[in-house]
Amino acid sequence: MAKVTIALVQTDPGPDKAANLERAFALIDEAAAAGADWIALPETFHQRAPSARKLADAEPIPGPLSEALAAAAARHGVWLFAGSFDERTLEVGKTSNTSLVFDPEGRQVAAYRKIHLFDVTLDGQVRSRESERIVPGDAVVACETPLGPVGLTICYDLRFPELFRALAVRGTIATFVPSNFTVPTGRDHWEPLLRARAIENGQYVIAAATIGGGGESGFVAYGRSLVVDPWGTVLVCAPDEVGVSFARIDNERIRRVRRALPSLEHRRPDVYDR
């Protein structure tokens, strides 16, 4: 397999988990019907709600949501990159922000737990303390696909180029960045950061995102789901609405760019480690 069609699902989840999932699975069906080989969901596609509500609704893995995602992947015969959702943990009062990958047979082939937690205050508009409610992950995760290995990250991880480089030196041809990115940072940082990570590592960056505020006041997500190619060209940018956007991922494009700009081969870890 040298090329695949990737579908980015852009959602506006609110506190009602059941309604959010009904809409997300309808968009998965829509993407598959349009011919997608890979389908990517955003971070928190299942629910955006106060911490207590999210904690109460968190699920184990395996659990009802992971099983439903597996069934959707198998039903449509697609690779499903399942954004992220709240995974129940043994730590009282905390969940993991977990991303799962399912192959076309519905087998779970990877699980990534968000490493970098979003603890910021932005001009009084956004206050987030993810470390108060989320257990950070401690593993760099890539999984094999017929197109090649792909890396897994979540949202705030985008600001840590060392994670993307760690994935690239493992041979990844693409990295997923499911996100629930804020409007204040999204306006100025979203596209430049995604393009930089793609250019630095000569790989595709695939970022399905949430949009809007889910009917709630306060936090509003930027949207603009993107696919960036290894040269830094934006292949698709979702419109400012709920829906599905499509792009093509081409292995030959990766090879051409890496031949022209072999920066991964020119690394000097012998110097950096000093």
d(CA 1, CA 150): 14
CATH superfamily of 3-272: Carbon-nitrogen hydrolase (3.60.110.10)
d(CA 187, CA 123): 14
* Per-residue pLDDT tens over the stretch 15-50: 999 999 999 999 999 999 999 999 999 999 999 998
Question: At 65, is the pLDDT very low, low, confident or very high (cuts 50, 70, 90)?
Answer: very high
Question: At 214, is the pLDDT very low, low, confident or very high (cuts 50, 70, 90)?
Answer: confident
Question: At 218, is the pLDDT very low, low, confident or very high (cuts 50, 70, 90)?
Answer: low
Kindly report the backbone phi and psi dihedral angles of residue 66, in degrees, each rounded to the nearest multiple of 5, phi listed first.
-60, -35
Average pLDDT in the chain: 94
Task: Tell me whether residue 237 is one of the annotated catalytic residues.
Answer: no
DSSP assignments along 249-263, one per residue: EEHHHHHHHHHH--T
Q: What is the pTM of this model?
A: 0.95
Contact 230, 203 (CB under 8 A): yes
Q: With left for phi above 0 and alpha for psi between -120 and 50, is residue 198 left, alpha or beta?
A: alpha
Cβ neighbors of 194 (< 8 A, separation 6 or more) are: 158, 177, 205, 207, 226, 228
Give mean pLDDT, residues 210-235. 90
Question: At 78, is the pLDDT very low, low, confident or very high (cuts 50, 70, 90)?
Answer: very high
- Residue from 17, 54, 94, 114 carrying the catalytic annotation: 114
- Residue from 43, 59, 87, 130 carrying the catalytic annotation: 43
Task: Tell me whether residue 17 is one of the annotated catalytic residues.
Answer: no
Cβ neighbors of 218 (< 8 A, separation 6 or more) are: none
Cβ neighbours of 135 (radius 10 Å): 18
Note the pLDDT of residue 215.
Answer: 64
Give mean pLDDT, residues 143-164. 97
Which residues, in sequence order, are bridge partners of residue 85? Answer: 98
- Residue from 54, 87, 130, 155 carrying the catalytic annotation: 155
Task: Tell me whether residue 155 is one of the annotated catalytic residues.
Answer: yes
Contact 242, 233 (CB under 8 A): no
Residue 6 has pLDDT above 70, yes or no: yes
Note the pLDDT of residue 177.
Answer: 98
DSSP assignments along 154-220, one per residue: -GGGGG-HHHHHHHHTTT-SEEE--B--BHHHIIIIIHHHHHHHHHHHTSEEEE-BBEE-TT-SS--
Question: At 51, is the pLDDT very low, low, confident or very high (cuts 50, 70, 90)?
Answer: confident
The position carrying tokens 């506006």 is 12
Residue 268 has pLDDT above 80, yes or no: yes
Percent of the chain whose predicted confidence (pLDDT) is above 70: 96
Residue 63 has pLDDT above 60, yes or no: yes
Measured in whole angstroms, the distance separating CA 142 from the mean position of its chain's CA atoms is 13
> Which has more pLDDT, 144 or 119?
144
Would you kindly state where each structural domain of the chain is located, as residue ranges? Answer: 3-272
Note the pLDDT of residue 119.
Answer: 77
Length of the chain: 274
Say which range, 87-91, 120-124, 177-181, has the weakest mean pLDDT: 120-124
Note the pLDDT of residue 267.
Answer: 93
